[in-house]
Amino acid sequence: MSADSSLSKVTVNPAVDGSELIRFDKVTKRFGANTVLDALDFTVSSGKHVTLIGPSGSGKTTILRLLMTLARPDEGTIRVGGEYLTHEERGGRLVPAGEKHVREVRKNIGMVFQQFNLFPNMKVMRNITEAPVHVLGLSADEAEERARGLLELVGLTEHADKFPTQLSGGQQQRVAIARALAMRPQVLLLDEVTSALDPELVAGVLDVLRDIARTTDITMLCVTHEMNFARDISDDVLMFDAGRVIESGPPEKIFNDPDQERTRQFLSAVL
Amino acid sequence: MTGPLWVLLLKGAWITVQLMLYSAALAAAVAFGIGLARTSRLWIVRFLSGVYVEFFRGTSALVLMFWLFFALPLLGWQLAGLWAGTLALGLSYGAYGSEVVRGALQSVPAAQREAAVALSFSPWQRLRKVILPQAVPEMMPPFNNLLIELLKGTALASLLSIGELTFEAKLARLSTGESAQVYGIILVMYFVIAFVVTRVMRLLERRAKASVGQASLAGGGHR
Amino acid sequence: MNDWSWDYVGDIMPKLLDGLWVTVQATLLGSVAAFALGLVWAIALRSPSRWVTWPVGALVEFVRNTPLLVQLFFLFFVLPGWGLSFGPLTTGVIGLGLHYSTYTAEVYRAGIDAVPRGQWEAATALSLPRGRTWVAVILPQAFRRVVPALGNYVIAMFKDTPMLSAITVGDMLFQANSIGATTFDYMEPITVVGVLFIVISYPTSVLLRVLERRLVR
């Protein structure tokens, strides 16, 4: 990828703006002929809880996948904490980053998936401790202590010795939240975390997330169809349509008095 | 059948088992190496490993064995019969096994790899901690079938005059003239070895499944 | 170490091609035997009577779990003693057909099982006779899945035909060995035989994969 005009304006090693944690600059992502994100710009400040809403296929999940480096942008740059995510600076120029750089930046980011994606070959405790031990280099005792604290937070202390298949969907998702938090990420990505759950299990998972939003200073980026939850926890809501942010603002504004007709239509369809 | 002839056949059976175990060890190494190579990100690695598989699946194990035994010495390497047999069987069945390994690796959902990426595991950690533990139980039933095929393949080594079961049976037939009896007995011996192999593999499969929390799913046979 | 001689290859080629013709005959005749016998086993194994399924099941398991080579020796040395004298090629075809019928039986079983149960029930609801149900409803649907799998066993059988050289059938390997035994130079004949196997079996298996994609959807 060549450094286009938008990149040349970027100063080398910019001072982190204090509050700005995530920055998308002219990010474009295509799947074949389909442009999912179209020169997208947006920023998220440290400690904020941001919810992405919009019709399906509007590119919300792609944003999370780009941040998690599960996909790479076709154009543009993403920075987390001032560090380029999929680029490196070499000799004052931006080049696509090697695996090592990506892995280093990735450690600041955690993700909870729609389908939980717990490792079925590991018991609950090991699902949570495996990465802290083998990626962060914690001792087994430290990791286990951390895991016990998190299991208490998500209300699953007594299930530490079970395999994921022995838990309900809601319990699995709470383990997945604990697993992501055990890495102490700066940013937590939540990708439709309640969509795969039976209705009666949704509340338990959302309660845990509300707790986390209230009691930690972790930055949360959340794709959800649970509008009441979005209203509760969000500092900002971004409305997506066709690969662009068409409107953003605090939840009271977006949910009660949106500026865009498109937002109004979307909300009346889902609420 | 007299006592000495039984000793002859049992000695042959022991060589057969050894030949099977050596070849299986080589085949397993090849299967994992080539199977992993076929999922590589580099096209050249995928291509070369694909050529390996098509080559060894395309040729006849017996012809390969003869080639290693008769033709290689002319190139300056003299292989003892047992090693020509082990090499031919291991390389051939390794090619079949690599398809099993590849299939099992691909059967692990992509979401598992993504979850491992999200936890910052290195590629090697992803493979060792997440993908392989889930893939290995899937491999056990087809590996069992291949091991039986391999056991049957060891009989080919008799044509290189390796003193395994089929070769000793030939000697026994020549000395007694009791063809029906001798070959009937060794067919049963092969069947018994195959039976034991299958039992052991089932046990290993159950173990592998229990270690990844699938114990409850292990019952009721695998398809 | 001696050098590869193309002249030598040219000299031995006619004999090796004679062997190839025998190999092809054995493969095709063996396939016909295996297809027919396998269908017999598959249908017998669906019999409601345990007096049929048990012995047939035991025979199939036994034949599948023991080496073809030993089975060939058994047929070759034992059958004449029972008054059944066949030529080596016929014996080889019987051996191949019997051995591979235990695999084709499994192919048929899987193909038949893959036909949805609703098809049997619909046939019953229409009061179709059992024979008609098999011929008009079940087998045509099983056919799509069965053909590619059977094709793979034809290739496997092709690659197993060199075993027939052990019971003096004049196949490719037999020819290569007899050439080597007179010239003391095995390099060219055995290499050519190996190459011929790949040259035939690889394109065939590619064709089969194409066929499989067409038939199984």
A230-259 burial, b if ≥16 CB within 10 A, otherwise e? Answer: bbbbbbbbbbbbebbbbbbbebeebbeebe
Alpha-carbon distance B197 to B21, whole Å? 11
Q: How far is CA B91 from CA B24, B57, B86, in A?
A: 10, 10, 8
Question: What backbone phi and psi angles, to 5 degrees, belong to A236?
Answer: -140, 145
Q: State the pLDDT confidence band at A232, using cuts at 50, 70 and 90.
A: confident
pLDDT of A9 over the 50 cut:
no
Residue boundaries of the structural domains of chain C: 12-215
Give the full edge-to-edge strand order of the sheet including A75-80: A34-45, A20-31, A75-80, A83-84
Whether the predicted pLDDT of A7 surpasses 70: no
Nearest CB neighbour to B63, from listed C67, C73, C193: C193
From the list A69, A70, A135, which residue is nearest B119 (CB)?
A135
pLDDT at B214: 65
Question: Which range, of A21-25, A96-100, A124-128, B76-80, averages the lowest pLDDT?
Answer: B76-80
Q: What is the pLDDT of residue B149?
A: 95
Separation of CA C11 from chain center: 31
Residue B222, in any domain of the structure = no
pLDDT of B217 > 60? The answer is no
Closest CA to B131 of B122, C17, C68, A30: B122
The two tokens of residue B171 are 């000697």
Q: What is the pLDDT of residues B42-75, one digit of tens each?
A: 999 999 999 999 999 888 999 999 888 887 776 6
> Where do runs of H (alpha helix) occur along B108-131?
110-118, 123-125
Question: Tens digits of per-residue pLDDT, A141-184?
Answer: 999 999 999 999 999 999 999 999 899 999 999 999 999 999 99
Is there contact between A and B if contact means ≥3 C-beta pairs under 8 Å?
yes
Q: What is the mean pLDDT of residues A20-32?
A: 91
Asked if C163 lies within 8 A of B156 by C-beta distance, the reply is yes
pLDDT band at A4 (very low <50, low <70, confident <90, very high): very low
pLDDT, one tens digit per residue, over C26-73 is 999 999 999 999 999 998 998 888 999 999 999 999 999 999 999 999
Judged against a pLDDT cut of 60, whether residue A11 lies above it is answered with no
Instruction: Please state, in angstroms and rounded to a whole number, the distance separating the CA atoms of residues A260 and A269.
Output: 15
Smallest CA–CA distance from C199 into chain B, residue: B58
The conformation of residue A91, written as its DSSP 8-state character, comes to T
Q: Which of A11-25, A38-52, B93-107, C83-97 has the lowest mean pLDDT?
A: A11-25
Count the neighbouring beta carbons within 10 Å of the beta carbon of residue A143: 22
Residues in C closer than 8 angstroms to B169, CB to CB, are 70, 73
The one-letter amino acid code at C139 reads: L
Q: Is residue B33 predicted with pLDDT exceeding 90?
A: yes
Query: In this complex, which chains have at least 3 CB pairs below 8 Å with chain C?
Result: B
- Is residue C69 within 8 A of residue C75, CB to CB? The reply is no
Q: Which residue segment(s) compose the domain that B153 sits in?
A: 3-217
The pLDDT of residue B77 is 67
Residue A255 has pLDDT above 60, yes or no: yes
Q: Would you state the pLDDT for residue B221?
A: 38
Interface test with B, best of A119, A179, A181 (most B CBs within 10 A): A119
Query: Taken in order C52, C54, C57, C61, is the CA torsion positive or negative?
Result: negative
Question: Which residue type, as a one-letter code, is found at position A223?
Answer: V
Note the pLDDT of residue B56. 92
pLDDT tier, A62 (very low <50, low <70, confident <90, very high otherwise): very high
Residue whose structure tokens are 């209705």:
A199
Contact check, Cβ <8 Å, C77/B183? yes
Q: Is residue B123 part of a domain?
A: yes
Judge: A117–B121 Cβ closer than 8 Å, yes or no: no
* Spatial contact of A128 and A150, defined as CB atoms under 8 Å apart: yes
pLDDT at residue A70 in the model: 87
Rounded distance, CA C180 to CA B6, Å?
Answer: 35
pLDDT at C74 over 90: yes
Tell me what pLDDT residue C1 has. Answer: 44
Query: What is the predicted pLDDT for the residue at A32?
Result: 86
Inter-chain residue contact B183 with C78, CB threshold 8 Å: yes
Q: Which residues pair with A95 in a beta bridge?
A: A88
Torsion angles phi and psi, residue A260, rounded to 5: -95, 140
**pTM for the complete prediction?**
0.81
Q: Contacts of residue B66 in chain C, CB cutoff 8 Å? A: 173, 176-177, 186, 190
CA B153 – CA B190 distance, rounded (Å): 11
For residues A76 and A38, what is the distance between their CA atoms, to the nearest angstrom?
Answer: 10
Residue bearing the bigger pLDDT, C5 or C32: C32
State the pLDDT confidence band at A105, using cuts at 50, 70 and 90.
Answer: confident
The answer to whether B185 touches B28, Cβ cutoff 8 Å, is no
Q: Does B134 contact chain A (CB < 8 Å)?
A: yes
Residue of A42, A45, A47, A44 whose CA lies nearest to A59: A42
Residue C51 buriedness (CB in 10 A; 0-12 / 13-18 / 19+): exposed
Which pLDDT band holds residue B215 (cuts at 50, 70, 90)? low
Mean pLDDT of A263-271: 87
Q: By the 8 A CB rule, do A233 and A207 touch?
A: no
Q: CA C207, CA A110: separation in Å to the nearest integer? A: 47
Instruction: With beta carbons less than 8 A apart as the criterion, state whether C208 and C152 touch.
Output: yes
- Tokens 């349509």, located at residue: A241
Q: Do A164 and B211 touch (CB under 8 A)?
A: no
- Rg (Cα) of chain B, in Å, rounded? 21
- For B54-84, b/e burial (b = at least 16 CB within 10 A) is bbbbbbbbbbbbbbbbbbbebeeeebebbeb
Contacts of A110 in chain B (CB under 8 A): 118-119
User: In the predicted model, what is the mean pLDDT of residues B18-46?
Assistant: 95
Helices C187-215, C172-183: inter-axial angle, 10-degree rounding = 170
Q: pLDDT at position B218, please?
A: 38
Written as six digits, the tokens of C32 are 């016909």
Helix (H, G, I), strand (E, B) or coil at A190: strand
Q: Which residues contact A173 (CB under 8 A, 6 or more apart)?
A: A112, A116, A193, A194, A196, A197, A201, A205
Mean pLDDT confidence for A50-61? 88
> Which tokens hold the place of C186?
């095995």
Q: Distance (Å, rounded) from C-alpha B27 to C-alpha B146?
A: 10
- Structure tokens of B215? 């114990």
**B109 part of a folded domain:** yes
User: Which B positions 70-99 lie with beta carbon below 8 A of chain C?
Assistant: 70-71, 74-76
In this model, does residue A1 exceed pLDDT 90? no
Task: Identify the pLDDT of residue B27.
Answer: 97
For the CA atoms of chain A, what is the radius of gyration? 19
**pLDDT at site B74:** 67
pLDDT at B76: 65
- The DSSP secondary-structure symbol of A13 reads S
Beta-carbon contacts of residue A33 (< 8 Å; ≥ 6 apart): none
Task: Evaluate whether chains C and B are touching (3 or more beta carbon pairs less than 8 Å apart).
Answer: yes
Cβ contacts of A175 on chain B, cutoff 8 Å: none
Residues of A within an 8 Å Cβ radius of B: 68-70, 99, 103, 106-107, 109-111, 113, 115, 117-123, 130-131, 134-135, 163-166, 179-180, 183
Please check whether residue A188 is in contact with residue A218, taking contact to mean a CB–CB distance below 8 angstroms.
Answer: yes
Residue A181: is it exposed, middle or buried by C-beta count within 10 angstroms (0-12/13-18/19+)?
Answer: buried
- Report the mean per-residue pLDDT for chain A: 86
| CATH code assigned to C12-215 | 1.10.3720.10
Query: What residue has token string 């997945």?
Result: A176
Instruction: Find the residue in B nearest to C193 (Cα).
Output: B63
CATH code, B197 = 1.10.3720.10
Can you list the positions of beta strands (E) in chain C? none
Stretch A230-245: mean pLDDT, rounded?
Answer: 90
**CB < 8 Å to A143, chain B:** none
8 Å CB contact of B134 and A109: no
Chain C residues closer than 8 Å to B176 by CB: none
Q: Per-residue pLDDT for A13 more than 80?
A: no
pLDDT in tens, C179-205: 988 988 888 899 999 999 999 999 998
Q: Tell me which chain A residues have a C-beta less than 8 angstroms from the C-beta of B134.
A: 119-121
CA distance B114 to A106: 12
- Number of separate domains in chain B: 1
Average pLDDT of the residues in A31-42: 88
